[in-house]
């Protein structure tokens, strides 16, 4: 008998690595390209998300409305039906990262793979059930653990800002070494990339991501094995696929190499124990087999090999857990009274609908030209963690920009034209006369008025009498807000020269999207008839 | 410069010093200000420069030139919050014709630079003309001794310091604090740091800055001027089509002339009075030789 590794499957394995690289680069390219493109409208940079059937399903159930762009998810579903979890093994950019790090850890002997027979692969199904049950109650938590959402968010708020900081420091060194032309061109290159450098939870989200990557030290592609809800979903869909593992018992020498090196614990050997729902078709087993005993012929039989371990008892238990969790996620003071800091991007749906659709992916935060959109922590309650809020101290809403609304993959932020966007109020500005320079020092300032983007300006300068500590009276021009004209963009707060705690600030009251969070009842003003 | 030339210049200079300074002024070949009106921004810019004796009066072969437009706001040309891109393009083309080694265009804007550069049309126009369009580079900020009366030191982009020649190319707009923002105020765009704190003594600050930067030529874009809601405008009704360019070496005089676009007496603008008192330039338009033409 010939003892030789299969050439064919080694080529397929190489193709798989190529495919993973290409898709990862595509994902990264679209991510890096999500910034002001030089014109008002950006293309479909968010397209990756529309191939994700988990996000399609959860936003569909949670919001009871189908978002047309998610039609692409059908491609992934059909692909998985026919060929199994190839999307996990050949396409998923997060999976590729895990595989790359697993390989790295194996090569550096930090990870020594061994044969594992445990049932922890079922965890991800529990997570999936938990998430899906929540969506029945309009609780959309999919984005927290969905691999695309998680990866995008981690890159935007953690990895890229950190890289940006590192590169900036490196450029600083170049200038110290008097390598000016190189430094200059790097600065211009980075300015063109327009990476948003500051995120409130960049450290936490970056840390979580690093943790998930480091899990590969314990098991290869641990995330894909035990945790990924999308992987679980595709695993369930892959039940009837036609790419079936085959082991030639004549050639097999029972060395167990395939089991040891199986990326996702699918247990190729013995054949009866192969879990097709776990297999991501990385073809490592067939390529590594020293006698070329493992092949993946197209066939329908045996129809079932080892099914997903989802007993009825577990299913009911995790569903119950999901139901019980819903009220806890809804414990937020924001449901009683609008949170002043909950300033949503322009075009955001009313809060309740917004939360049903937002998948916390950070697309909007990447697109924002001023770094204003930040992941929320407690502002929107536990349900709204990592949803976008505008933090005027960091950035402001650029008047002629509607990029965030264009890139939102689920329509949580309704797509607006620039023209429409300029009419949306996201909050209102307030002058803190206790801190404002003219109101206190009698000195001119006008910075907020100068930056106010509306025409006519929402900040008016009015001569105001001010008493100085020595009793002299001054009459400087001081800012007064016209609440009808103010759109709450926050540039005034952002540019206020009172650096530590701006003397003008924006709160969410008056936002167009909300009926309740309003200052004046205009209705009463207009028709004060019968009463 | 060769030794012989140096000695020759010294001799000529020494002879000239014996006469009244008025002698040079009287025999001036070129006017103090060129005030050109016309349909095309490029054409009137070109005419203004040639009325002053042509670009070679200002730019020499091998110079590194910085053209400083106002690219402060995320606005399109018709909204007239930034310098007209055609004016900038023309100035770059002229400088390169005069043999400039390199022309750089940069400004530190109020809105994000990648937006203002693109939407103002200046980035494309300047690149087309052959200039280097640079985003403000924080690594090039350096605290400089400005030696102003009020502003002693501030962070400045060293591109402006390293340049051989600077051309200031502002746009005329209204401003709620100094009433008008013209050429002198344009220098705020060459600074880093907390610029918004300069507003506490803005008139003083901008005269200090103008003296420090000392451009070889100032070309005031008055093709479209912002008569309301400055310095950003927004509505097209805030804009007045004025079809004028004023250029001159005396940057205070250029601003004084531009004040009259808005029917404001230069004497009523505190920053111009301060600049005049400091001896930076003339604000009495009667005392200036102005060449007014329509092309």
Residue A474: beta bridge partners? A466
Q: If DSSP states are collapsed to H, E and C, what string results for A41-98?
A: CCCCCCHHHHHCHHHHHHHHHHHCCCCHHHHHHHHHHHHHHHHCCHHHHHHCHHHHHH
Given this structure, which CATH class describes domain A426-531?
alpha beta
**Cα angle for residues A82, A88, A94 (degrees, 5° grid):** 160
Q: Which residues of chain B are within 8 Å of residue A39 when distances are taken between CB atoms?
A: 118
Q: Which residues contact A214 (CB under 8 A, 6 or more apart)?
A: none
Q: Which residue of B has its CA nearest to A186?
A: B137
The closest of A409, A348, A308 to A73, measured between CA atoms, is: A409
Residue whose entry in the numeric block shows the structure tokens 């689920």: A410
- CATH 3.30.70.20 positions along chain A are 426-531
How much is the pTM? 0.92
Structure tokens at B169: 């190319």
Distance CA B108, CA A415 (A): 31
A37 upstream amide cis, omega within 30 of 0: no
The closest of A41, A37, A49, A151 to A94, measured between CA atoms, is: A151
- How far does the CA of residue B29 sit from the closest CA of chain A (Å)? 42
Contact at CB, A187 and B137, closer than 8 angstroms:
yes
Q: Are A40 and A367 in contact, with CB atoms under 8 Å apart?
A: no
Contact at CB, A369 and B114, closer than 8 angstroms:
yes
Secondary element (H or E) of residue A390: strand A388-390
Q: How confident is the model at residue B124, as a pLDDT?
A: 97
Distance CA A144, CA A247 (A): 39
Burial A337-370 (b: 16+ CB within 10 A, else e): ebbebbbbbbbbbebebbbbbbbbbbbbbbbbbb
The closest of B240, B120, B231, B238 to B182, measured between CA atoms, is: B231
Q: Which residues contact B3 (CB under 8 A, 6 or more apart)?
A: none
Question: Which residue ranges in chain A fall short of pLDDT 70?
Answer: 1-2, 300-309, 522-531
Q: How confident is the model at residue A530, as a pLDDT?
A: 47
Q: How confident is the model at residue A531, as a pLDDT?
A: 44
Q: Where are the domains of chain B?
A: 31-294
Distance CA B229, CA A456 (A): 6
**Pick from B139, B176, B197: CB nearest A171:** B139
Contact at CB, A457 and B229, closer than 8 angstroms:
yes
Q: How confident is the model at residue A307, as a pLDDT?
A: 64
Q: Are B291 and B35 in contact, with CB atoms under 8 Å apart?
A: yes
Q: Which residues of chain A are within 8 Å of residue B200 when distances are taken between CB atoms?
A: 437, 443-445, 497
Question: Which residue ranges in chain B fall short of pLDDT 50?
Answer: 20-26
Mutate to test the interface with A, among B105, B159, B177 (most CBs of A within 10 A): B177
- How far does the CA of residue A498 sit from the closest CA of chain B (Å)? 9
Q: Which residues of chain B are within 8 Å of residue A184 when distances are taken between CB atoms?
A: 134, 137
Q: Which residue of B has its CA nearest to A368?
A: B112
Distance CA B21, CA A410 (A): 74
User: What CATH fold (topology level) applies to the domain B31-294?
Assistant: Rossmann fold (3.40.50)
Q: Are A401 and A36 in contact, with CB atoms under 8 Å apart?
A: yes
Q: Say how many CA atoms lie within 13 Å of B132 toward its Cβ.
A: 17
**Pick from A36, A370, A445: CB nearest B199:** A445
Structure tokens at A204: 């936490």
* Helices H / strands E in chain A, number of each: 24, 10
Q: Which residue of B has its CA nearest to A477?
A: B177
Q: Which residues of chain B are within 8 Å of residue A399 when distances are taken between CB atoms?
A: 74, 234
Interface of A with B (CB under 8 A): 35-36, 38-39, 171-172, 175, 183-184, 187-188, 191-192, 194, 369-370, 398-401, 437, 443-447, 449-457, 461, 477, 495-497, 499
- How far does the CA of residue A321 sit from the closest CA of chain B (Å)? 47
Cβ burial of B279 (10 Å; 0-12, 13-18, 19+) is exposed
Contact at CB, A497 and B135, closer than 8 angstroms:
no
Contact at CB, B233 and A370, closer than 8 angstroms:
no
Structure tokens at B146: 């400005």
- How far does the CA of residue B14 sit from the closest CA of chain A (Å)? 42
B102-105/B64-69 β-pairing = parallel
Mutate to test the interface with A, among B74, B180, B204, B271 (most CBs of A within 10 A): B74
Q: How confident is the model at residue A310, as a pLDDT?
A: 72
Q: Which residues contact A247 (CB under 8 A, 6 or more apart)?
A: A268, A269, A270, A271, A293, A294
Q: Which residue of B has its CA nearest to A189?
A: B135
Q: Which residue of A has its CA nearest to B195?
A: A497
- How far does the CA of residue A46 sit from the closest CA of chain B (Å)? 21
pLDDT in tens, B6-61: 677 766 666 555 554 444 444 578 999 999 999 999 999 999 999 999 999 999 99
CATH of A344-424, one of 1.10.760, 2.60.120, 3.30.410, 3.30.70: 3.30.70
Q: Which residues of chain A are within 8 Å of residue B134 when distances are taken between CB atoms?
A: 184, 188
- What is the greatest pairwise CA distance in chain B? 61
**Pick from A443, A450, A453: CB nearest B176:** A450
Q: Which residues of chain A are within 8 Å of residue B110 when distances are taken between CB atoms?
A: 451, 495
Q: Which residues of chain B are within 8 Å of residue A461 when distances are taken between CB atoms?
A: 176
Q: Say how many CA atoms lie within 13 Å of A187 toward its Cβ.
A: 21
């Amino acid at each position: 008998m010939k003892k030789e590794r299969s050439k064919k499957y080694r080529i397929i394995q190489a193709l798989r690595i190529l495919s993973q690289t290409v898709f990862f680069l595509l994902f990264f390219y679209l991510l890096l390209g999500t910034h002001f493109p030089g014109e008002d409208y950006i293309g479909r940079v968010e397209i990756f998300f529309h191939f994700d059937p988990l996000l399609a399903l959860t936003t569909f159930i949670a919001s009871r409305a189908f978002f047309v762009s998610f039609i692409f998810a059908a491609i992934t579903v059909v692909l998985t039906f026919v060929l199994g979890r190839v999307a996990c093994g050949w396409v998923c950019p997060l999976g590729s990262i895990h595989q790359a790090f697993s390989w790295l850890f194996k090569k550096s002997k930090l990870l020594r793979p061994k044969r594992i027979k445990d049932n922890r692969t079922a965890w991800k199904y529990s997570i999936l059930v938990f998430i899906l049950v929540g969506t029945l109650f309009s609780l959309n938590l999919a984005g927290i653990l969905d691999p695309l959402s998680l990866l995008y968010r981690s890159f935007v708020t953690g990895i890229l800002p950190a890289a940006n900081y590192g590169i900036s420091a490196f450029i600083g060194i170049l200038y110290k070494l008097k390598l000016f032309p190189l430094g200059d061109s790097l600065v211009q290159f980075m300015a063109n990339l327009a990476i948003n450098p500051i995120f409130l939870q960049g450290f936490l989200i970056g840390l979580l991501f690093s943790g998930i990557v480091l899990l590969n030290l314990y098991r290869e592609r641990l995330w894909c094995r035990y945790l990924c809800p999308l992987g679980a979903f595709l695993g369930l869909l892959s039940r009837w696929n036609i790419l079936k593992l085959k082991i030639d018992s004549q050639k097999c020498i029972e060395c167990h190499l395939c089991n040891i090196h199986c990326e996702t614990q699918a247990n190729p050997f013995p054949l009866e124990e192969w879990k097709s729902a776990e297999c991501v078709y990385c073809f490592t087993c067939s390529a590594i087999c020293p006698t070329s005993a493992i092949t993946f012929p197209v066939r329908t039989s045996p129809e079932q090999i080892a099914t997903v371990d989802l007993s009825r008892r577990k299913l009911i238990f995790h569903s119950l857990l999901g139901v019980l969790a819903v009220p806890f996620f809804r414990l937020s003071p924001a449901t009683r009274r609008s949170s002043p800091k909950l300033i949503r991007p322009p075009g955001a749906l009313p809060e309740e609908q917004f939360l049903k659709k937002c998948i916390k992916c950070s697309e909007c935060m990447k697109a924002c030209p001023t770094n204003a959109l930040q992941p929320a922590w407690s502002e929107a309650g536990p349900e709204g963690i990592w949803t976008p809020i505008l933090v005027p101290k960091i950035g402001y809403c650029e008047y002629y920009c509607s990029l965030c609304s264009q890139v939102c993959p689920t329509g949580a932020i309704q797509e607006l034209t620039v023209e429409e966007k300029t009419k949306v109020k996201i909050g209102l500005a307030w002058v803190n006369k206790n801190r404002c320079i003219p109101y206190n020092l009698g000195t001119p300032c006008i910075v907020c008025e100068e930056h106010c983007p509306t025409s006519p300006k929402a900040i008016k300068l009015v001569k105001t009498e001010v008493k100085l500590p020595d009793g002299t009276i001054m009459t400087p021009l001081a800012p007064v807000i016209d609440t009808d004209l103010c759109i709450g963009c926050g540039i005034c707060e952002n540019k206020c020269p009172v650096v530590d705690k701006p003397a003008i600030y924006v709160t969410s009251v008056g936002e167009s999207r909300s009926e309740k969070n309003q200052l004046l009842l205009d209705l009463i003003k207009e028709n004060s008839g019968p009463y | 410069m060769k030794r012989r030339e140096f000695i020759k210049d010294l001799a000529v200079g020494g002879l000239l010093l014996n006469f009244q300074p008025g002698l040079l002024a009287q025999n001036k070949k070129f006017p103090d200000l060129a005030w050109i009106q016309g349909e095309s921004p490029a054409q009137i810019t070109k005419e203004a420069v040639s009325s002053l004796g042509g670009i070679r009066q200002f730019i020499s072969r091998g110079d590194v030139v910085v053209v400083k437009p106002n690219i402060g706001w995320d606005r399109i040309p018709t909204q007239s919050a930034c310098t007209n891109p055609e004016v900038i393009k023309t100035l770059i083309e002229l400088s390169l014709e005069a043999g400039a080694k390199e022309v750089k265009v940069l400004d530190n804007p109020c809105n994000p630079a990648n937006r203002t550069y693109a939407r103002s049309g200046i980035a494309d126009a300047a690149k087309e003309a052959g200039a280097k369009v640079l985003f403000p580079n924080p690594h090039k900020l350096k605290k400089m001794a400005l030696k102003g009366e009020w502003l002693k030191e501030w962070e400045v982009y060293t591109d402006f310091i390293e340049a051989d020649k600077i051309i200031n190319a502002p746009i005329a707009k209204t401003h709620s604090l100094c009433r008008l923002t013209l050429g002198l105020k344009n220098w705020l765009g060459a600074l880093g740091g907390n610029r918004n704190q300069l507003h506490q003594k803005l008139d003083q600050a901008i005269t200090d800055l103008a003296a420090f930067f000392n451009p070889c030529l100032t070309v005031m874009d008055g093709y479209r001027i912002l008569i309301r809601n400055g310095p950003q405008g927004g509505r097209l009704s805030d804009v007045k089509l004025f079809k004028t360019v004023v250029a001159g070496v005396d940057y205070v005089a250029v601003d004084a002339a531009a004040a009259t676009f808005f029917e404001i007496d230069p004497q009523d603008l505190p920053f111009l009075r301060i600049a005049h008192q400091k001896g930076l330039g003339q604000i009495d338009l009667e005392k200036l030789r102005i060449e007014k033409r329509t092309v």
